[in-house]
Structure 1
Amino acid sequence: MTSRADVVEDAADRLRLLLDANRTLVEELDLPEVLRRIVTAAIDLVGARYGAIGVFDDDGRLEVFIHAGIDDETAAQIGHLPRGRGLLGDLLDGGPAVRLDDVTTHPHYTGFPAEHPPMRSFLGLGLEVRGRVYGNLYLTDSAHGTFSEEDAELARALGETAGVAIANARLYDESRRREAWSSASAEVTRELLSPDGIDALELVAVRVQELTRASLVAVLLPAGDGTYAVSRAAGTHSQELVGVRTTIAAAAPVEPTIGTVAAVCAPLGLDLPDVPASQAMLVPLVDADDPRGILVVLRDGPPRFDDTDLSMAEAFAGQAALALGKRDLRQAREAMLVLEDRDRIARDLHDHVIQRLFASGLTLQSVHATIPVGAPRDRLAAQVAEMDETIRQIRRTIFELHDTDPGQGGVRRRLRRVVSATGDGGTAVTLQIDGPVDLALDDGLADDVVAVAREGVSNARRHAQAERIELRCVVRGGEVVVTVNDDGRGIPEHARRSGLDNLARRAEARCGTCRVTSGRGGTTLRWAAPIPDEGYDA
Structure 2
Amino acid sequence: MESVGDDRDAVLHAVSSAVLAVTRHLSVREVLQVIVRSARRLLDARYAALGVPDDQGAFAEFVAEGISDEQWDAIGPMPRQHGMLGAMLREGAPVRLADIRKDHRFEYWPRAHPVLKDFLGVPILDGDAVLGIIFLSNKRSPGGFTEADQDLLTMFAAHAAIALTNARLYERGRELALVEERTRMARELHDAVTQKLFSLRLTAQAASSLVRRDPDRALHELERVERLAGEALAELRAVIVELRPAELDRHGLAETLRKHVRLLDRLHPASFTFEERPVCELDPATEVAVLRVAQEALHNASRHARAVGVAVRLGCEGGRVVLEVRDDGTGFDVAAAAGRGLGIASMEDRAHALGGSVLVSSAPGEGTLVRMEVPV
Which TM-score tier does this pair reach, normalised by the shorter chain? 0.5 to 0.7
- C-alpha distance in structure 1 between counterparts of 2:136 and 2:168, whole Å: 25
Partner amino acid, structure 1, of 2:39? V
Asked if 1:324 is matched to 2:164, the reply is yes
Deviations 1:358-378 (A, max 9, x none): 331233134312354646534
| Counterpart Cα distance in 1 of 2:303 and 2:247 | 16
- Does residue 355 (structure 1) correspond to residue 194 (structure 2)? The answer is yes
Q: Supply the distance in 2 between the matched residues of 1:180 and 1:483 (Cα, whole angstroms).
A: 52
Q: Quote the offset at 1:356 in angstroms.
A: 0.8
1:216 aligned counterpart, secondary structure: strand
- Aligned counterpart in structure 2 of residue 206 of structure 1, from 34, 37, 62: 37
Cα distance in structure 2, aligned partners of 1:195 and 1:444: 29
Task: Tell me what 2:19 maps to.
Answer: 189
After TM superposition, the score normalised by the length of structure 2 is: 0.55
Identity rate of aligned residues, in percent?
Answer: 17
Q: Which residue of 2 aligns with 1:248?
A: 81
Q: Which SS does the other structure have where 1:502 is aligned? A: coil
Cα shift at 1:401: 5.7
Tell me the residue number matched to 1:258.
Answer: 96
Structure-2 change in CA distance of 1:499 and 1:378 (3 Å): same
Q: In the alignment, is the contact (CA less than 8 A) between 2:57 and 2:80 conserved in 1?
A: no
Change (3 A) 1:191 1:391: closer
Give the gaps of 5 or more residues in structure 1: 1-29, 31-171, 415-430, 432-436, 461-468, 475-480, 486-497, 507-538
2:301, 2:363 → 1: CA distance?
A: 22
Are 1:219 and 2:50 an aligned pair? yes
Report the residue type matching 1:257 in the other structure. V
Contact 2:92 2:123 in 1 (8 A): yes
Cα distance change on mapping 1:278 and 1:448 into 2, 3 Å: closer
User: Which one has the largest radius of gyration?
Assistant: 1
CA shift, 1:206, in A, is: 1.3
Question: Aligned to 2:128, which of 289, 292, 298?
Answer: 289
Over 3 Å counting, the alpha-carbon distance change for 1:196 and 1:227 in structure 2 is: closer
SS of corresponding position for 2:80:
strand
Instruction: Provide the TM-score with structure 1 as the length reference.
Output: 0.41
**Counterpart residue identity of residue 316, structure 1:** F
Q: Aligned partners of 1:329, 1:213: CA distance in 2, in Å?
A: 33
Q: Deviations over 1:413-465 (max 9, x none)?
A: x9xxxxxxxxxxxxxxxx9xxxxx98xx79831655987999668x55xxxxx
Q: 1:444 to 1:245 in 2, by over 3 A?
A: same
**Following the alignment from structure 2 to structure 1, what is the Cα–Cα distance between the partners of residues 45 and 61?**
17
Q: Is the CA contact 1:221–1:228 (under 8 Å) kept in the aligned structure 2?
A: yes
Which digits, 9 at most, give the CA deviation of each residue in 1:281-313, with x for residues without a partner? 122222233433321211145221122211221
* Contact 1:218–1:297 (CA under 8 A) maintained in structure 2: yes
- Pair 1:294–1:405, CA change in 2 (3 A): same
Matches of 2:222 and 2:117 in 1, distance apart?
81
- In the alignment, the residues of structure 1 paired with residue 54 and residue 151 of structure 2 have an alpha-carbon distance, to the nearest angstrom, of 27
Q: Contact conserved, 2:331 with 2:365, CA < 8 A, in 1?
A: no
Shift, 1:471, TM fit:
5.0
Of 218, 226, 231, the residue aligned with 1:377 is: 218
Query: For residues 378-419 of structure 1, what are the alpha-carbon distances to aligned partners after superposition, in whole Å with 9 as ceiling and x for unaligned?
Result: 463465377569479949x78x969999833879xx9xxxxx
What SS does the corresponding residue of 2:210 show, helix, strand or coil?
coil
The higher-RCO structure (CA 8 Å, 6+ apart) is: 2
**Contact 1:246-1:268 at 8 Å conserved across structures:** no
Give the 3 Å change call, closer, same or farther, for CA 444–274 of structure 1 in structure 2. closer
Partner of 2:81, secondary structure, is strand
Letter of the 2:24 partner, please give it: S
Closer, same or farther: CA 471–211 of 1 in aligned 2, 3 Å: farther
Structure 2 segments unaligned to the other structure (5+ residues): 249-255, 265-288, 290-294, 308-324, 347-360, 369-376
Which residue identity lines up with residue 384 of structure 1 in the other structure? V
Change over 3 Å in CA distance of 1:443–1:182 after alignment to 2: same
Which residue does the alignment assign to 1:445? Answer: 303
Q: For 1:262 and 1:325, how far apart are their aligned partners in 2?
A: 33
Rounded to whole Å, the distance in 2 between the matches of 1:280 and 1:265 is: 14
User: Which of residues 313, 319, 325 in structure 1 aligns to 2:153?
Assistant: 313
**Using the alignment, how far apart are the partners of 1:269 and 1:228 within structure 2?**
17
User: Alignment partner of 1:336: what SS?
Assistant: helix
2:36–2:63: 8 Å Cα contact kept in structure 1? Answer: yes
Shift of 1:483: 7.6
Structure 1 position 317, deviation (Å): 0.5
Amino acid at match of 1:343: T
CA RMSD of aligned residues (A): 5.2
Counterpart amino acid of residue 127 in structure 2: A
The one-letter code sitting in structure 2 at the alignment partner of 1:345 is M
Distance (whole Å) between structure 1 residues aligned to residue 182 and residue 19 of structure 2: 31
